[in-house]
Structure 1
Amino acid sequence: MKMNNCFKSWLVLAGSLLALSGQAAAVEVAGVSIDDSARVAGAELKLNGAGVRTKVLFKVYVAALYLGDKKSTPAEVLAAPGPKRVSLTMLREVSSDTLSQALLEGLNHNSSDEEKSRLFNQMLAIGQIFGAYRSIKPRDVITVDWVPNTGTVIQMNGKKLGDTLPDVAFYNAILKIWLGDRPADKTLKRQLLGEAAS
Structure 2
Amino acid sequence: MNKLLAFLTATFISIHTHALILNDVEVPETITALNNNTQLALKGAAIRRAYGIVKSYVGQLYVSDTSLNAEELLASNNARRMVYHVTSNRVSYRRFISSINNGLPLNLTDEEIAAIRPRLESMKSFLDVDFGEGTIVYIEWDPNDGLNHVMVNNELRGSVPGRDLNDAILKLWIGKNPVGRDFKQEILGLSTPQD
Report the TM-score when normalising by structure 2.
0.84
Shift in Å at residue 20 of structure 1? Answer: 4.3
Q: What secondary structure, in the 3-state scheme, does the structure 1 residue paired with 2:78 have?
A: coil
Q: What secondary structure, in the 3-state scheme, does the structure 2 residue paired with 1:136 have?
A: coil
Shift in Å at residue 165 of structure 1? Answer: 1.1
Q: Decide which moves more: 168-177 or 70-79.
A: 70-79
Task: Report the identity percentage.
Answer: 22
Shift in Å at residue 197 of structure 1? Answer: 0.5
Shift in Å at residue 22 of structure 1? Answer: 5.4
Structure 1 residue aligned with 2:153: 157
Q: What secondary structure, in the 3-state scheme, does the structure 1 residue paired with 2:77 have?
A: coil
Instruction: Kindly indicate whether residue 24 of structure 2 is the aligned counterpart of residue 28 of structure 1.
Output: no
Shift in Å at residue 127 of structure 1? Answer: 2.9
Structure 2 residue aligned with 1:114: 111
Is contact 1:104–1:123 with CA below 8 Å preserved after alignment? no
Shift in Å at residue 167 of structure 1? Answer: 0.8
Instruction: Kindly indicate whether residue 131 of structure 2 is the aligned counterpart of residue 136 of structure 1.
Output: yes
1:171 is aligned with what amino acid? N
Is contact 1:49–1:65 with CA below 8 Å preserved after alignment? yes
Structure 1 residue aligned with 2:97: 100
Structure 2 residue aligned with 1:78: 74
Structure 2 residue aligned with 1:51: 46
Shift in Å at residue 18 of structure 1? Answer: 9.3
Question: Unmatched 5+ residue regions in structure 1?
Answer: 1-15
Change (3 A) 1:177 1:105: same
Computing the radius of gyration from Cα coordinates, the structure with the larger value is: 1
Question: Unmatched 5+ residue regions in structure 2?
Answer: 1-9
Shift in Å at residue 104 of structure 1? Answer: 2.2
Query: Matched residues in 1 for 2:38 and 2:157: separation?
Result: 21
Moved over 6 A (4+): 16-19
Compute the RMSD of aligned alpha carbons.
1.9
Query: Matched residues in 2 for 1:71 and 1:166: separation?
Result: 26
Change (3 A) 1:45 1:180: same
Change (3 A) 1:21 1:177: same
